[in-house]
Every structure is written in C-alpha cells, then in structure tokens.
C-alpha cells in the first residue's frame, strides 16, 4: 500500500488512518483474529515502517542527532517485539504439523485425539511462558516521558517527524498487540487493548484507532476468547478436536463394525485436518513476513545512516 501525500507529516497521518480503516474492513468481514486479519495487521505494520523511512528522507532533517536516535530506538523496539511474535508463531506452526501427523493414526482414534490435546496444552503453556518472560519489553504501554511532552513541540519537532514517529509508535503498538494476542498468548491480566495517548494529530487517525480498539476490547470480553492463543482458525481446530473426541467415544460404543469405523474416521478427521492446514499455512506466511520485515528494518536503518553520513 502506498499513499502519495504521505510525503508530508499530515499526509502520513492520513496514510495511517486509511490503513487502519482498511484493516477494520478486513476485521468486520472475517472472524475475530482470523489468519487473514493477522496477516493484514503485519502487512500494515511493514507498510507504515517503510513509509516512515521514505518520509525521513524527504523532510530535510539534520544529519544525525536526536531524530535519528529516536528512529533507531523505534526500529529496535519493532525488532524485539517481532522476535517474540516469531517465536510464538513458530510454536503454532510446530503444533499444527505435529497434530496433523497424529491424526493420521486411524487405528488409534482416541489416542491420537488425546495427543492433539496434549500438543495444544504444551503450545499454550510454552507461549504463555514466552509472553511472561518478555512482557516488559513488549509495546503495551506508551513511553511516559514522551506522552507528557508539550503537544506542539512534539508534533512540530524535526519538521513534524517527531510527531509522526510518536503517532506511529501508538499505532504500531496496537498492531503488535493484535499479533501477540493472535499467535502468542492473551490472558485476562493483560491490557485488553493498547491505550494510546499520543496527541490528537489527526481526528481521522484517532477515530480509526479508537474503533479498532473498541472492537478488540468488546470481542475479548466474550468469555473464552479472552485467554490463550486467539487465532480464529487455531481456536476452531481445538473445538473440532473436542467434537471429534465426543463422536469417537460414541462411535466406539456403537456396533457399526471396523469398516464403518474406518469410513467414519476418514470423513470426520478430514474436517479437523482442514482447520490445522489453515493454521499451518497461516503460520508459515506470518513467519515469512516477519523475516522480510527484519530485512526491511535493517535496510531502513542503513539508508538513514548513509543519508546522514553523505550529508
């Protein structure tokens, strides 16, 4: 996604607002925390960061100094958060692969189903520990020192770049939180959504963020959806495993014979495997996007360092 007028600070605010509005449309046309929604969130984060780098090259900023330090700090923050997210989504991919293998054991239906449940429990515990170990480094809370800064000074500093960077920090916090809750872990002790407090640099951007935050908060307040890995397809696969267990136990008590049981297994398990395949392909896509984002962060830092050294 590109937006020509994003070559100015005000244009960049409009660019972010439009991106969040597009993301909200993905949200409303799909299930909460769907693979498509998570992929779109990550794509949007990458797009914002790339456009920020382009903007920095167009604002006639001084060679080096505080603006460059703040940019480097923000890119480092994104780097660290995405490493946590990649670890979580890699575990999700590993779970789906293991569960698919277990479900090929047609002669051990209940044992295979129990194995899937154990794999899921292990994944949730692993990712919960991952979140707890990195909670303080994740972007759930704005920088207090920045939020109390004078509004006009914040917005206009470095030809408007400081305001853009601060606004982007709030927006990227929301997007990163979506990804953390979708593929790592969410629990009731976590904030339901990022409460950004950057100055109202654009009513469209503020409104777009508020709408997305409110939808997330409302959805996460609905019982079971507030804990664990929230990716829709992952949660649906777990519900399908539970349904399969109940049906398998009922089938075992029936007298349909071995041939009937084999036919039943093939039909029922394929539905569960379908959900797991979507989880696996979605996780693979997210990992690829994160790796590409790491390359883009390195490239952006190098571009600005070269820009400063040449001046």
pLDDT over threshold 80, residue 256: no
DSSP 160-221: THHHHHHHHHHHHHHHHHHHHHHHT-B-TTS-SS-------S-HHHHHHHHHHHHHHHHHHT
Nearest in space to 53 (alpha carbons), one of 310, 306, 309: 306
Would you state the pLDDT for residue 122?
96
- Token pair, residue 246, equals 């109940």
Return mean pLDDT, the chain. Answer: 83
Cβ atoms 16, 33 nearer than 8 A: no
Of 8-22, 162-176, 192-206, the range with the lowest mean pLDDT is 192-206
pLDDT score of 149: 39
Global pTM reads 0.87
What is the per-residue pLDDT for 10? 86
229 HSE (CA, 13 A, CB side): 34
Q: Phi first, then psi: what are they for 228, rounded to 5°?
A: 85, -165
Cα separation, 207 vs 171, whole angstroms: 12
84-98, 114-128, 182-196: least confident range: 182-196
- pLDDT (0 to 100) of residue 186: 87
> What pLDDT shows up at residue 65?
78
pLDDT confidence of residue 9: 86
Comparing 44 with 203, which gets the higher pLDDT? 44
Name which of 8-12, 43-47, 213-217 the model is least confident about: 213-217
As a whole-number percent, the residues of the chain with pLDDT over 90 amount to 49
The confidence score (pLDDT) of residue 144 equals 42
The pLDDT of residue 192 is above 60: no
Coil, strand, or helix at residue 228? strand
Per-residue model confidence (pLDDT) at position 25? 86
Q: Quick one: pLDDT band at residue 200, thresholds 50, 70, 90? A: low
pLDDT in tens, 28-57: 777 889 999 999 999 999 999 999 999 998
In DSSP notation, 134-150 reads HGGGSSSS--HHHHTS-
Cβ burial 8-46 (10 Å sphere, 16+ → b, else e) = bbebbbbbbbbbbeebbebbeeeebbbbbbbbbbbbbbb
140-172: per-residue pLDDT in tens?
544 443 443 344 445 566 778 888 998 898 899
């Amino acid at each position: 996604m590109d937006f020509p007028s994003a070559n100015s600070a005000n244009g960049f605010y409009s660019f972010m607002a439009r991106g969040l509005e597009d993301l909200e449309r993905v949200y409303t046309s799909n299930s909460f925390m769907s693979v498509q929604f998570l992929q779109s969130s990550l794509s949007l984060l990458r797009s914002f960061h790339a456009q920020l780098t382009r903007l920095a090259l167009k604002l006639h900023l001084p060679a080096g100094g505080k603006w460059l330090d703040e940019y480097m700090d923000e890119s480092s923050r994104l780097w660290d958060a995405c490493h946590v997210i990649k670890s979580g989504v890699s575990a999700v991919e590993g779970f789906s692969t293991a569960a698919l293998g277990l479900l090929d054991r047609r002669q051990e239906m209940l044992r295979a189903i129990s194995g899937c449940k154990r794999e899921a429990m292990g994944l949730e515990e692993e990712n919960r520990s991952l979140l707890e170990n990195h909670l303080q480094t994740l972007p759930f809370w704005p920088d207090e020192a920045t939020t109390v800064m004078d509004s006009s000074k914040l917005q206009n500093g470095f030809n408007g770049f400081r305001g853009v960077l601060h606004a982007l920090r709030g927006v990227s916090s929301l997007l990163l939180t979506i990804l953390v809750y979708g593929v790592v872990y969410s629990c009731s002790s976590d904030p339901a959504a990022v409460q950004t407090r950057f100055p109202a640099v654009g009513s469209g951007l503020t409104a777009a963020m508020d709408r997305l935050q409110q939808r997330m908060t409302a959805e996460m307040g609905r019982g079971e959806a507030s804990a664990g890995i929230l990716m829709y397809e992952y949660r649906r696969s777990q519900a399908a495993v539970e349904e399969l267990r109940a049906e398998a136990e009922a089938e075992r008590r029936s007298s349909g014979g071995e041939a009937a049981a084999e036919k039943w297994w093939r039909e029922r398990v394929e539905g569960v495997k379908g959900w797991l395949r979507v989880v696996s392909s979605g996780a693979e896509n997210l990992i690829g996007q994160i790796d590409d984002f790491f390359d883009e962060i390195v490239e952006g830092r190098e571009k600005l360092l070269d820009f400063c050294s040449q001046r």
